[in-house]
Amino acid sequence: MRFVPQLFPEGEHFGLLAEYDSPGALVRACEHVRDAGYRKWDAHSPFPIHGIETAMGLGRSRLPYVALIFGLGGALGGMALQIWANAIAYPMVISGKPMFNWQPYVPITFECGVLLASLATVFGMFAFNKLPMLFHPLFGVEHFAKATDDGFFISVEAWDPKFDARATGELLSSTGARRVHLVRRREDAAP
Amino acid sequence: MSHDRAVAVDPAQHRGKAFGRLTGVGGALAVAGVGASVALAGGTPQFYFSWLVAYLFFLSIALGGLFFVLVLAVSRAGWGVSLRRVVENVMATLPVFAVLFVPIWLGRHELYAWARPEEVAKSALLRGKAPFLNEDFWFVRAILYFVAWSALATFFSTQSQKQDETGDERISARMRGIAPVGIILFALSTTFCSIDWMMSLEPEWYSTMYGVYFFSGAVIAIFSFVILLVQFAYTQGALRGVVTTEHLHDVGKLLFGFTIFWAYIAFSQYFLIWYGNIPEETVYYMKRQVGSWQSVGMLLAYGHFLLPFFFLMPRAAKRSSALLVIAAVWQLFMHFLDLHWAIMPVLHPESARPGFVDLAAFSAVGGVFLAAIGWVSSRRALVPLGDPRLPEALSFENV
């Protein structure tokens, strides 16, 4: 029985992992991999590197649209709830004001908009990053732990249409990788 | 990678002379404006009210400039260094507003009910407020504001100019040290000047939000005005490559943010008065629901907030020169309308009566303001060449 959704296609190998010496070498290597037309790959670094999005050819995040839609939805929902509660379901005269008056609804409408926009931003970011992810095949590679300390890596996944263990490995070596590693798919088959 | 890029600023390309044309244009507008407004309505209440609106409009831009410079200093902002000189030049016009204040002083009896003894005799409230709202103290306060503004503007302007030659890092530290004091002075003087010159037009009414309401408009005004000045500098061949899309993007973000801030403040003032529903407080909004003032108020709610809010929201709008200029011109117009809506119902309670006198006064004050910017700018570089953080600002990029 599978408790964690399958994130990667089946196959013997996860892909190739190349290690670089410096953030500069990583960025230059990313430009080569990007220009070679790979789509399913990623760069790993212990800290954010300025300009790596362009080097990787990443587009703009779709997260702002998610935030906008949920923000507007939250605002409309908050307004609708108040109209329904105060003017339709339980009409009650409070300090001589009309049943329907938009003024007191504004703060709660605003807050509901902010609430849903911010929740959508956080959880949308999780979703786009496929988090929470309890296991990743790269964890099976012992020296990949350096990615949280002083290691700079590129991983190219085996299901990329352009992936070829030999040709991709040569490309990564030619970009100045210190070592290139074929990563197995299963955790129990870690090298 | 941006921080590897070698940056060099050619001082010859960024001389303040690029703004020299403003002196001539501004001078002509000022002469025409003063002539027209005096010929059309000299000495009448209409003249003084129109002058007051125009005066507060341009004063709020200059005060916004002071605020921007203070915040850049106190927050030790690197990104803003490349456009700081343009803002400083706007701020440096503040002493001129002491001269432009003369018509308001001359018209104090026409403008302010508390300055008319017969009105004070009629109203117990005005008699009670007399220790604060009397001509002498009002005048002393105005002098204090001008002293504080001129001192701050001159200090930051001359220090920054001195750094052009020496490149001394200690000047940045000195400005950073004075800035917090400046912010306190700015907050007090801006709040009280709006109370003295705007809120006391209806001396029996009060709002504790009034000072920050004026401030929120002033900040919208300076960000809009900086966008326009930078675009003007581009047409004169200056600032290109120094103030980039990245910087304007950030000014656009600030304009967007403070547009929301204005709405927040404007609504908070309205909301509490609406909820309390006490006649001496609601009178302010009752007056502004008469005749076409009602439509002006609705136009402000939609035009000063809702429309620019959605217009400035996309990243693309803040990175496009044309769209940003549209937003800036629109927000400046709306800011003027906001002041007009706050002040003019006192003179024209029946309905909005915009006219040529408003235009003439706008041209008079605005002309002097532009000429002063041109004159100040042409005496120094248009970029703080000596600031040690200029390279950082030049290579700034939004992530």
Instruction: Please report, for chain A, the start and end positions of each structural domain, with discontinuous segments joined by +.
Output: 13-59+130-189, 63-128
Amino acid at B256: F
Radius of gyration of chain B (CA): 21
Chain segment B159-192, per-residue pLDDT in tens: 999 999 999 999 999 999 999 999 999 999 999 9
Query: CA-CA distance, B214 to B342, in Å (whole number)?
Result: 10
Task: Print the SS3 string covering chain B.
Answer: CHHHCCCCCCHHHHEHHHHHHHHHHHHHHHHHHHHHHHHHHCCCHHHHHHHHHHHHHHHHHHHHHHHHHHHHHHCCCCCCHHHHHHHHHHHCCCCHHHHHCHHHHHCHHHHCHHHCHHHHHHCHHHHHHCCCCCHHHHHHHHHHHHHHHHHHHHHHHHHHHHHHHHCCHHHHHHHHHHHHHHHHHHHHHHHHHHHHHCHHHCCCCCCCCHHHHHHHHHHHHHHHHHHHHHHHHHHCCCCCCCCCHHHHHHHHHHHHHHHHHHHHHHHHHHHHHHHHCCHHHHHHHHHCCCCCHHHHHHHHHHHHHHHHHHHHCCHHHHHCHHHHHHHHHHHHHHHHHHHHHHHHHHCCCCCCCCCHHHHHHHHHHHHHHHHHHHHHHCCCECCCCCCCCHHHHHCCCCC
Residue of A51, A60, A106 lying closest to B271 (CB–CB): A106
Residues above pLDDT 90, as percent of chain A: 64
Query: B248 with B229: CB under 8 angstroms?
Result: no
Q: In chain A, what is the greatest distance between 2 CA atoms, to the nearest angstrom?
A: 80
Query: CA-CA distance, B154 to A24, in Å (whole number)?
Result: 45
Radius of gyration of chain A (CA): 25
Query: A29 with A154: CB under 8 angstroms?
Result: yes
Q: Do A50 and B275 touch (CB under 8 A)?
A: no
Least confident window among A86-100, B227-241, B288-302: A86-100
Residues of A in contact with B395 (CB under 8 A): none
Tokens of B356: 């040529």
Distance of CA B114 to the CA centre of its chain: 26
Q: How far is A51 from chain B (nearest CA, A)?
A: 6
| Count of beta carbons in the 10 Å neighbourhood of residue B188 | 14
The residues facing B15 across adjacent strands are: B381
Query: CA-CA distance, A181 to B278, in Å (whole number)?
Result: 76
Chain A residue with minimum CA distance to B316 = A60
Most confident by average pLDDT, A33-42, A59-68, A166-175, B135-144: B135-144
Give yes or no for B275 touching A (CB within 8 A). yes
Residue of A51, A106, A107 lying closest to B1 (CB–CB): A51
ipTM for the assembly: 0.82
Chain A, residues 57-86, CB within 8 A of chain B, namely 60, 64, 68
Query: B47 with B107: CB under 8 angstroms?
Result: yes
Q: Is residue B178 situated within a structural domain?
A: yes
Residue of A50, A68, A103 lying closest to B1 (CB–CB): A50
Q: Is residue B175 situated within a structural domain?
A: yes
Give yes or no for B313 touching A (CB within 8 A). yes
Domain count, chain B: 1
Checking if the pLDDT of B5 tops 50, the result is no
Query: CA-CA distance, B101 to B211, in Å (whole number)?
Result: 19
Checking if the pLDDT of B244 tops 60, the result is yes
Chain B residue with minimum CA distance to A28 = B1
pLDDT at A140: 85
Query: B293 with B336: CB under 8 angstroms?
Result: no
Query: CA-CA distance, B189 to B115, in Å (whole number)?
Result: 21
pTM to 2 decimal places: 0.91
Give the residue with greater pLDDT, B67 vs B14.
B67
Q: How far is A24 from chain B (nearest CA, A)?
A: 9
pLDDT-derived band at A136, boundaries 50, 70, 90: confident
Query: CA-CA distance, A92 to A106, in Å (whole number)?
Result: 19
pLDDT-derived band at A188, boundaries 50, 70, 90: low
Q: Do B2 and A50 touch (CB under 8 A)?
A: yes
Residue carrying the six token digits 């410079």? B69
Query: CA-CA distance, B186 to B254, in Å (whole number)?
Result: 19
How many CA atoms does the CB half-sphere of B247 hold within 13 Å?
Answer: 25
pLDDT at A119: 97
Provide the residue range defining the domain that includes B226: 14-378
**Which 3 state secondary structure label does DSSP give B73?**
helix
For chain B, the average pLDDT equals: 94
Query: CA-CA distance, B85 to B173, in Å (whole number)?
Result: 17
Q: Is residue B78 situated within a structural domain?
A: yes
Q: Do A27 and B1 touch (CB under 8 A)?
A: yes
Strand pairing class (A13-20; A41-44)? unpaired
Chain B residue with minimum CA distance to A64 = B314
Q: Is residue B22 situated within a structural domain?
A: yes
Residues above pLDDT 70, as percent of chain A: 93
Amino acid at A172: L
Give yes or no for B322 touching A (CB within 8 A). no
pLDDT at A132: 87
Which of B324, B101, B117 minimizes the C-alpha distance to B226?
B324
pLDDT-derived band at A131, boundaries 50, 70, 90: confident
Q: Do A68 and B315 touch (CB under 8 A)?
A: no
Chain B residue with minimum CA distance to A110 = B264
Chain segment B215-235, per-residue pLDDT in tens: 999 999 999 999 999 999 999
Query: A99 with A87: CB under 8 angstroms?
Result: yes
Chain A, residues 103-162, CB within 8 A of chain B, namely 103-104, 106-107
Checking if the pLDDT of B6 tops 90, the result is no
How many CA atoms does the CB half-sphere of B148 hold within 13 Å?
Answer: 22
Q: How far is A93 from chain B (nearest CA, A)?
A: 14
Residues counted in chain B: 399
Q: Is B185 left (phi over 0), alpha (psi -120 to 50) or beta?
A: alpha
Q: Is residue B385 situated within a structural domain?
A: no
Chain A residue with minimum CA distance to B264 = A107
Instruction: Using alpha carbons only, give the angle A119, A122, A125 rounded to the nearest 5 degrees.
Output: 135
Query: Once rounded to an integer, what is the mean pLDDT over residues A68-80?
Result: 97
pLDDT at A187: 54
**Which 3 state secondary structure label does DSSP give A182?**
strand
Chain segment B72-119, per-residue pLDDT in tens: 999 999 999 999 999 999 999 999 999 999 999 999 999 999 999 999
How many CA atoms does the CB half-sphere of B338 hold within 13 Å?
Answer: 29
Best residue of A31, A50, A108 to probe chain B, by most B CBs closer than 10 Å: A50
Checking if the pLDDT of B2 tops 80, the result is no
pLDDT at B398: 81
Which of A175, A158, A190, A121 minimizes the C-alpha distance to A13?
A158
For chain A, the average pLDDT equals: 89
Which of B298, B226, B233, B288 minimizes the C-alpha distance to B258?
B226
Query: In the structure, how many helices (H) and strands (E) does chain A have?
Result: 5, 4
Give yes or no for A95 touching B (CB within 8 A). yes
Residues of B in contact with A107 (CB under 8 A): 271
pLDDT-derived band at A186, boundaries 50, 70, 90: low
Q: Is residue B390 situated within a structural domain?
A: no
Q: Do A50 and B313 touch (CB under 8 A)?
A: no
The residues facing A16 across adjacent strands are: A156, A182
Give the residue with greater pLDDT, B270 vs B4.
B270
Query: Once rounded to an integer, what is the mean pLDDT over residues B271-296?
Result: 94
Give yes or no for A37 touching B (CB within 8 A). no
DSSP A6: P
Q: How far is B1 from chain A (nearest CA, A)?
A: 6
Query: Once rounded to an integer, what is the mean pLDDT over residues B358-364?
Result: 97
Residues of A in contact with B270 (CB under 8 A): 103
Give yes or no for B309 touching A (CB within 8 A). no
Residues of B in contact with A60 (CB under 8 A): 315
pLDDT-derived band at A8, boundaries 50, 70, 90: confident
Residue of A50, A95, A106 lying closest to B267 (CB–CB): A106
Residues counted in chain A: 191
Give yes or no for B279 touching A (CB within 8 A). no
pLDDT at B4: 43
**Which 3 state secondary structure label does DSSP give B344?**
helix
Q: Do B274 and A103 touch (CB under 8 A)?
A: yes
| Count of beta carbons in the 10 Å neighbourhood of residue B81 | 24
Residues of A in contact with B319 (CB under 8 A): none
Checking if the pLDDT of A190 tops 50, the result is no
Give the contacts of A96 (CB within 8 A, at least 6 positions apart): B277
Residues of A in contact with B313 (CB under 8 A): 68
Q: How far is A50 from chain B (nearest CA, A)?
A: 7
Residue carrying the six token digits 């003019």? B344
List the strands of the sheet with A13-20, edge to edge. A41-44, A152-157, A13-20, A179-184
